Chain A
Amino acid sequence: MKLAYWPGCVSRGFTPELHGSMELVAPKLDLELVELDRANCCGAGVIAEHNQELADTLNARTFAMAQSVDGAAGMMNICSTCQGAQSECQTRLDASSDYRQTVNSHLSDENLAYEKTAEFWNKNFLWLLVEEIGLEKLSSKIVRPLEGLRIAPFYGCYIVRPTERLGYAEYPNRDKYLDILIEVLGAQPVEYAGSHKCCGFPVITMNRTTSLRQAGRHLADAIDAGADCLVTPCPLCHLNLDMQQPEAAKYVERDLNVPVLHLPQLVGLALGLEPKELGMNRHVVKTKEVQRKVTQLAAA
């Protein structure tokens, strides 16, 4: 399947292991990724907070670039936040042809225009795995079922709410995909209070206490529920849950130390890729114990 691929900013910035692992996983799943390397930031909700027309125009630009990729089935992102921010803009763009025209007029310089069509879609890798690739096909490619691993899913707000804007009418189980996927990969999903809650990242510079209390609380809940690690489709959640974890521990006044994997890393492990090539040695919270369990599986 050929896809217009938007990796996002953070996956190439502060979580380069995410973009790197996606590039390794794609060929294993017969995905041909055409990277939108001229496309701009989705705005992460912040540009929309500043000026809606600006955010909508920037994302219309990205959509237009994706639409001009010859033979692409659709557009894929690997960031919950990109998904949410872009879906929000797309909803507004699709609601009014007058508005679309105004927005497109800003893109005419580059001969770009976003067209509202029933065929165009933009899906997070998580949605794509379940809806486009299919769990059966994914299962057939698994060479290393992740048996014995207890994994806590962490979805990220932007792909679970608001359901009305995120295609839940057509795909009502999108808020269960991570759980389903963990099982398909042979591991055991861990149920805990924080799976669909907020990681706190959006306010890390504005209210550090609120931000890190949120991250700390969810991590603690996952640990108490017996998780070996968490998995998330959102690099911004990853920043607060992994990079900030030692700080979050101070705000909830307890030890945490639980690794957090990116979704493509987890899929990659099951597809036979090695932890090191998936960038698992470049996390702040060491993934050694997860690596040990996975390597034991290979030996068994």
Chain B
Amino acid sequence: MAESYTLKLRRYDPESGDPAYWSQYDVSLDPERSVLQGVLNARDDEDGSIAIRCSCRAAICGSCAVRINGKTALACNTQMGDAQAKAGEGNPIVIEPMSNMPVIKDLIVDMDAVHWKKIQRVVPWLLPEGDPPDREYIVPAEAMIDVTQTMACIQCGACVSACLALEVDPDFVGPAASAKAYRFVGDPRDGQHEERLKDLAEDPHGIYDCTHCFACVEVCPKDVAPMDQIMRLRRKATGDHGIKDKNNGYGHEHAFVNIIERYGTLHEPQLLPRSFGDGSLIKGQTEPSAVKQLIENFPTVVRAVTAGKVPLKPHTILHPKLPDQDKVKTIFKTIEAKDERLEINMYIIGESAEDEAEGKPETGGEA
């Protein structure tokens, strides 16, 4: 049954010279109908000047991503009833253009200026080594399953809009392009894995600029989980290729892991020098680049000590090990000694896999 809704649209036309403004429209449609339909009704019935981009209306083409009540989503994939519930009873449903990209008009943003530029930056095509085989490439099925998740991307830009690192650093390569990079780094036919990883690890706005905030994971309509792909890129960069980047990505990971392997819990005073020294405490206090960074952090340390936040006591300086640290260490040794890392991909097995498969879901090994 049709219900009444109020849509509050952010309107802006850069060519007009006027600032952005809000317009409200009352629409009547079934709660199961999409927010996109609501906007189109408002355009058709009330104001023909409303601009929104759309095509398939079935969450396939990726054209209609907008912010609905502050959260980026495909307008065609969001029901009016749900949008109203999020907005709260009696409140209008707020619809804005995506963030982190310039507005062309109203709800249409310039994808070329940001999203596509970043996709191009990661060389989004296969770079095979040597001549192509006489017939087709033969690859193990598991390897292709591994990249399936990134192939599900419909280039809607929702993750780019939600990215909190991009908000403060527009140069960040961003979630969509990173996921695209994994699409090729995870593909056994590609011959440039190390070059790709090195490129993204050494770039100050590359994979180590991701702040691990899950915003992209939350909004992706296709469960691509771009942040998870960034973590896999990091894992391959450090674990498989041993790339020691100048952004301390390798250093931070190794510092953290080494400290936990040694003590069981985190010892913060070691984290900085070890991070600056590729994981090594000595290197982190002697190499010129590391020393420079330590000096940069010195005022913060002094403030913390002066405030009494970090007491200068033996247990602060000499971190105690856990009572059963030898057991924890054994866990590290056993797992790290494996030839292949065991990785379970929720995208492939699904969260309710166990119930469906009666305890026999597949687990996948990561090459």
Contact = CB atoms under 8 A, between A and B. Distances in A.
Contacts of A282: 307-309
Interface residues of A, number: 73
Given A54-B335, A58-B331, A206 B218 contact: no
Interface in B315-333: 316, 322-324, 327-328, 330-332
A16 B271 CA distance: 17
A109 B326 CA distance: 11
B303 interface: yes
B201 to A, nearest CB: 10
B19 interface: no
Given A96-B354, A207-B169, A210-B172, A51 B213 contact: no
A239 B35 CA distance: 40
B346 A202 contact: no
Contact of A109 (B303, B327, B353, B360): B327
B84 to A, nearest CB: 14
Interface of B is mostly: helix
Interface residues of B, number: 79
B164 A197 contact: yes
Contact of A53 (B205, B343, B352): B343
Nearest to B272: A205
Given A13-B266, A92-B344, A54 B256 contact: no
Interface stretch (A137-145, A240-248, A290-298): A240-248
Contacts of A72: none
Given A14-B304, A207-B204, A54 B336 contact: yes
A225 interface: no
Contacts of A109: 327, 330
Given A99-B363, A107-B331, A214-B168, 15 more contacts: A9-B266, A13-B266, A37-B323, A40-B260, A41-B265, A46-B253, A95-B349, A96-B344, A109-B330, A164-B351, A205-B251, A206-B247, A207-B169, A209-B168, A211-B211
Interface of A: 9-10, 12-17, 37-41, 43-54, 56-58, 61, 84, 91-92, 94-99, 102, 106-107, 109-110, 116, 157-158, 161-164, 197-198, 200, 202-203, 205-211, 213-214, 217, 243-244, 246-247, 281-284
